[in-house]
Amino acid sequence: MEMLVVRSDAHRHHHCLELDGGALVDSWDTPVRAESVDRAVDAFGRFECIGPDPLDRGLIEAVHTSDYVVFLEEAYDRWVGAGHAGPCAMGFGWPGRGAKPRRPHDLLGQLGYHSFAADCSIGPGTWAAAVGSAALAQTAADRVADGVRSAFARCRPPGHHAMRDQFGGYCYLNNAAVAAQRLRRRGAGRVAILDVDYHHGNGTQDIFYDRDDILYCSIHCDPLAEFPFFFGHAEETGTGEGTGRNFNLPLPRGTTTDAWFEALEHALEWIEPSGCDHLVVSLGVDTFEADPISHFRLGCDAFAPMGERIAQLGLPTVFVLEGGYASDELGDNVVSVLHGFGSA
């Protein structure tokens, strides 16, 4: 078996609106993204596909605060119950610099407190989709813990921007964090997370920033030039027990394949001697040159070598889908990474 794929239809529940260029528009994160990947997986025909096991709620509460999890679960019903006219629950006020915010009692205040961007709203099916997405990551981690060499969680919504108690960047529950935490609970000694999405995974960094047992390494566009803007600088290396366990490799807009793979070498050279016995890959393929909201220049021919090179670490690996918004090519690029890994 080249790769185990875990997927479901839970993503179809979630439709998101975002504030973009001063207009409220449909999100780039649509159900079409997941279906593009499913079509490419089915056309390739060499991966085993399974459905998820039920999500262990305690697992998401191990990487997110309990207050935040309850907030996500109840936010849309509270929004409707309060008589708001908008089709999705969204905040409009966020804590300013220098604030020491206390969690408000009011829903609108909590929407600002528990989010960090206006690109992310909560609709009637958001909670179900987020739970379904996290269940894919949990199941993929379980199968790898059971001895499968590699598994791919075809998650949507994505997760790497979801912080301990904040959503944003199309992300609500942090799927990569769920997978890494599950591996630790199943006996992994130390887990490395490699994030290859165009955008920095500020949520994953936040969750594990002070931990020694789960390392985070990210290759991404310089936050001085790109979302999430305020996270992902090279000097962010961890704190407390996590000091030295966080490694950011910010790159300029317009980065080409050769420069990106040079950064990948640095990332793998950092992970290799770390003593990690499992790997989680936050697989964003929005590094693709035709991605509509990203600005790296990797061609389709870069993705199979990406998988091949990651495989050379020799670690049992969970892949978790993150970004990638060029829907026509998304599925093929994902399959190329997985096939490259599986054939190495």
Query: Could you tell me if 307 and 319 are in contact, meaning their C-beta atoms sit under 8 angstroms apart?
Result: no
Output the CA torsion 98→103→107→108 (10° steps): -10
Instruction: Tell me whether residue 160 is one of the annotated catalytic residues.
Output: no
* Euclidean distance between the first and the last CA atom of the chain, given in angstroms as a whole number: 13
**Cis previous bond, 157, omega within 30:** yes
Which of 43, 66, 19 is CA-nearest to residue 227? 19
Catalytic option among 114, 161, 200, 339: 161
Of 320, 344, 340, residue with least CA distance to 37: 320
d(CA 139, CA 178): 10
Contacts of 35 (CB under 8 A, 6+ apart): none
Across 153-176, b (16+ Cβ under 10 Å) vs e yields bbbbbbbbbbbebbbbbbbbbbbb
Distance CA 25, CA 17 (A): 6
Q: Name which of 222, 224, 206, 225 is nearest 214 in CA terms.
A: 206
Paired strand residues for 280:
193, 318
118 vs 112: CA distance, rounded Å? 9
Q: Which helix (H) or strand (E) holds 281?
A: strand 278-283
- Catalytic residue positions, numbered: 161
